[in-house]
C-alpha cells in the first residue's frame, strides 16, 4: 500500500531550464464544465486551483449567470456563457466542440473537470452522460457529475477518468454504503469497485483512499478545518491540472491529494476557523516549491 508524500511531486514539478521557451499549453489546458444559478463559484474555484497547480490555461463553460460572475472574478479566467440556467442537451455540441478544439490547440495536453455546481436536473445529468460517452480526453468526474453516472456507471470502464466522491457520492456511484465501515474495510471496497468499474476512484476520507483497482494509495495530508464549501472544487481543479500534463489518473490523484491536503494545512495554520477555499488555493504554490 502506497503512503503519499511530497516526494511524488519531484517527477512532476521540475525546474524549467533558464532561457528555455515553452509555448502556451505545454503544461496543460483544463476545460471546466459546471456551475448554475446557485453554485456559480464552483467552476471558478476549480479553475483558480488549476492555475495555481501549474496549468497553462483554463477555460470555463457555464450557464450565463455563472459565467458572467466567474468572468468578473479575475481576468485570468476565460468563461464562455451557455444560454439558460443550467447545462442542457442543446449545449452538447458546444461542449464537444470546445473539447475537440482544446485537444487540437494544446496538442493533446488537455483534461476536463465536470460536475461542480451543475445541478441534478434530469436533463443536465443526461447531457453529462452523453458528453462523457463521446469524449476521449482525461476527465475528473466530480460532484453532480457523479450523480449523473448513477444511471450508467459502466460508462467509465477503461477510460482515462478519475472519479472523486465523498462517502455519499460513493454510495450513489456504487450502491455500497460504507460510512459505518472501518477504514480498513473502506479500503477494500474502494479497491474492489475501482477494479469492477476499471477506473480510478479517489474517496475523500481521512486518510484519503485512492485506487485504480490494482493498487491503493493513502493520503494523510489535510486539515480538519477543510470542511468548508469549495475545498472539493479546489481538489478537482488540482486533479484536472495534473491530468492535463498527461499524468495518468492514479498518480495524478495521489499528487493532487497531497497538494490539496498540505495547502489546507498551511492555510489552517494561519486561519483555523476562518479558512475558506480561496485561501487553500493561495497556499498551493507554497506546497509546490
Report residue 159 as a C-alpha cell.
Answer: 477510460
- HSE, CB side, 13 Å, CA atoms: give it for residue 53: 37
Distance of alpha carbon 227 from alpha carbon 156, whole angstroms: 28
pLDDT in 10s for each residue of the chain, 289 residues: 999 999 999 989 999 999 999 999 999 999 999 999 888 999 999 999 999 999 999 999 999 999 999 999 999 999 999 999 999 999 999 999 999 999 999 999 999 999 999 999 999 999 999 999 999 999 999 999 999 999 999 999 999 999 999 999 999 999 999 999 999 999 999 999 999 999 999 999 999 999 999 999 999 999 999 999 999 999 999 999 999 999 999 999 999 999 999 999 999 999 999 999 999 999 999 999 8
Residue 213 lies inside a defined structural domain of this protein: no
Residue 46 lies inside a defined structural domain of this protein: yes
Residue 12 lies inside a defined structural domain of this protein: no
What angle do the packed helices 92-105 and 122-134 form, to 10 degrees? Answer: 30
CATH number at residue 60: 3.40.1190.20
β-strand pairing of 57-63 with 78-82? parallel
Backbone angles phi, psi at 160, to 5 degrees: -80, 60
Residue 212 lies inside a defined structural domain of this protein: no
Total number of domains in the chain:
1
Residue 273 lies inside a defined structural domain of this protein: yes
Neighbours of 16 (CB within 10 A): 11
Which residues constitute the domain of residue 101? 25-163+220-288
Residue 82 lies inside a defined structural domain of this protein: yes
Distance of alpha carbon 62 from alpha carbon 87, whole angstroms: 7
Distance of alpha carbon 25 from alpha carbon 67, whole angstroms: 22
Backbone angles phi, psi at 5, to 5 degrees: -135, 175
pTM of the model: 0.98
C-alpha distances in Å from residue 129, one per residue of 37, 103, 116, 168: 21, 20, 15, 20
Residue 195 lies inside a defined structural domain of this protein: no
Residue 204 lies inside a defined structural domain of this protein: no
SS3 category, 2: strand
Amino acid at each position: 500500500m502506497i503512503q503519499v508524500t511530497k516526494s511524488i511531486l519531484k517527477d512532476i514539478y521540475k525546474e524549467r531550464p533558464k532561457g528555455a521557451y515553452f509555448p502556451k499549453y505545454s503544461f496543460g489546458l483544463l476545460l471546466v464544465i459546471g456551475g448554475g444559478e446557485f453554485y456559480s463559484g464552483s467552476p471558478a474555484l476549480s479553475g483558480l486551483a488549476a492555475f495555481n497547480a501549474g496549468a497553462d490555461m483554463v477555460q470555463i463553460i457555464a450557464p450565463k449567470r455563472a459565467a458572467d460572475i466567474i468572468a468578473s472574478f479575475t481576468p485570468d479566467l476565460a468563461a464562455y456563457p451557455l444560454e439558460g440556467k443550467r447545462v442542457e442537451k442543446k449545449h452538447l455540441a458546444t461542449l464537444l466542440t470546445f473539447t475537440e478544439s482544446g485537444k487540437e490547440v494544446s496538442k493533446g495536453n488537455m483534461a476536463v473537470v465536470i460536475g461542480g455546481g451543475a445541478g441534478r436536473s434530469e436533463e443536465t445529468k443526461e447531457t453529462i452522460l452523453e458528453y462523457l460517452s463521446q469524449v476521449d480526453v482525461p476527465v475528473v468526474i466530480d460532484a453532480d457529475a457523479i450523480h449523473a453516472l448513477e444511471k450508467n456507471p459502466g460508462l467509465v470502464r477503461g477510460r482515462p477518468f478519475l472519479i472523486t466522491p465523498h462517502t455519499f457520492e460513493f454510495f450513489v456511484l456504487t450502491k455500497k454504503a460504507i460510512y459505518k465501515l472501518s477504514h480498513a474495510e473502506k479500503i477494500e471496497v474502494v479497491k474492489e469497485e475501482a477494479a469492477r468499474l476499471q477506473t480510478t476512484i479517489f474517496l475523500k476520507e481521512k486518510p484519503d483512499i485512492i485506487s485504480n483497482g490494482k493498487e491503493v494509495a493513502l493520503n494523510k495530508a489535510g486539515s480538519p478545518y477543510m470542511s468548508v464549501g469549495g475545498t472539493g472544487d479546489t481538489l478537482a481543479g488540482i486533479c484536472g491540472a495534473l491530468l492535463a500534463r498527461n499524468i495518468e489518473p492514479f498518480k495524478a490523484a495521489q499528487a493532487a491529494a497531497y497538494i490539496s491536503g498540505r495547502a489546507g494545512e498551511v492555510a489552517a495554520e494561519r486561519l483555523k476557523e476562518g479558512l475558506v477555499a480561496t485561501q487553500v488555493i493561495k497556499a498551493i504554490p507554497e506546497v509546490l516549491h
